[in-house]
């Protein structure tokens, strides 16, 4: 075989090898992105259930309110509960929509930023559910009990006791919001704050972020033993 023939064979072999590498990289990307989609499935189900529960709470509060439209106590409590439920439901719906609209064809860096945005949106939904729940736990219990049984539970509760619970909840809300803005809702998170947000985001978001980090390292040409094991 002549030297020119060897060069042609080598060039053809190099072209085939490069094509094979491109195909393998594409297949690996598709495999990891399919796993990211499957990781987000429980998250989507959970947020959908939360939105449905929020809507049910709003409907129940408004049903009780329409039966007592002339009672200031019901206007404040049932109307406030509907507003709280609408706020929390909106936050859950925002996290849900961001996940549904996730563009898996986008560059990995863009996907990672989007997942971090979903993580933060999910944290905010949890934060406001917790803080507003401290404010409204008693009205929620009373209104839902009345919606189910028809018993006028709110009318039998001492107004000073109800007001004291709400004032305590508002104080906790203000403190919790201040601490969250000071230590957590910022770009330069401390290690403990990042661990907290990651733990609250759930297994689905953590797993998706880990797979995208693996794909990012692979695309940069970095060695990753864990990727090889998968």
Residue 14 has what pLDDT?
A: 60
Q: Of the ranges 32-36, 50-54, 135-139, 200-204, which one carries the lowest mean pLDDT score?
A: 200-204
Of residues 120 and 5, more confidence is placed in: 120
Residue 79 reports pLDDT greater than 80: yes
The torsion angle over the Cα atoms of residues 88, 90, 95 and 101, rounded to 10 degrees, is 170
Q: How do residues 108-129 score in pLDDT, each as one tens digit?
A: 788 888 888 888 888 888 888 8
Q: How far apart are CA 122 and CA 205, in angstroms?
A: 9
Residue 51 has what pLDDT?
A: 92
Q: How many CA atoms lie within 13 A of 62 on its CB side?
A: 11
**Ramachandran bin of 130, using left for φ above 0, alpha for ψ from -120 to 50, beta for the remaining angles:** alpha
By percentage, how much of the chain surpasses pLDDT 70? 80
Q: How confident is the model at residue 23 (pLDDT cuts 50, 70, 90)?
A: low
Q: How do residues 144-178 score in pLDDT, each as one tens digit?
A: 888 888 888 777 777 787 778 888 888 988 998 89
Of residues 205 and 170, more confidence is placed in: 170
Residue 175 has what pLDDT?
A: 92
Q: How far apart are CA 128 and CA 185, in angstroms?
A: 13
Mean pLDDT of the residues in the chain: 78
Residue 49 has what pLDDT?
A: 92
Read off the pLDDT of each residue in 34-55 and give the average, rounded to a whole number: 87
Residue 230 reports pLDDT greater than 60: no
- pTM exceeds 0.85 for this model: no
- For residue 128, what are the contacts with CB-CB under 8 A and spacing of at least 6? 87, 88, 91
Residue 4 has what pLDDT?
A: 59
**Using an 8 Å Cβ cutoff, are 159 and 71 in contact?**
no
């Amino acid at each position: 075989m002549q030297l020119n023939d060897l060069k042609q064979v080598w060039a053809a072999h190099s072209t085939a090898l490069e094509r094979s590498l491109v195909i393998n990289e594409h297949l690996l990307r598709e495999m990891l992105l399919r796993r990211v989609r499957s990781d987000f499935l429980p998250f989507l189900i959970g947020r959908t259930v939360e939105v449905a529960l929020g809507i049910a709470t709003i409907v129940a509060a408004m049903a009780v309110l329409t039966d007592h439209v002339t009672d200031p106590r019901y206007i404040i409590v049932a109307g406030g509960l509907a507003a709280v439920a609408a706020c929390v439901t909106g936050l859950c719906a925002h996290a849900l929509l961001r996940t549904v609209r996730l563009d898996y064809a986008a560059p990995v860096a863009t996907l990672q930023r989007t997942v971090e945005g979903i993580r933060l949106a999910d944290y905010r939904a949890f934060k406001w559910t917790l803080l507003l729940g401290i404010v409204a736990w008693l009205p929620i219990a009373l209104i839902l009990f009345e919606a189910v049984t028809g018993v006028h539970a709110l009318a039998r509760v001492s107004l000073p006791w109800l007001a004291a619970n709400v004032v305590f909840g508002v104080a906790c809300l203000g403190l919790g919001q201040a601490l969250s803005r000071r230590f957590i809702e910022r770009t330069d998170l401390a290690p403990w704050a990042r661990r907290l947000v990651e733990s609250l985001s759930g297994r689905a978001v953590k797993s998706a972020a880990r797979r995208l980090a693996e794909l990012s390292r692979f695309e940069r040409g970095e060695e990753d033993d864990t990727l090889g094991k998968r």
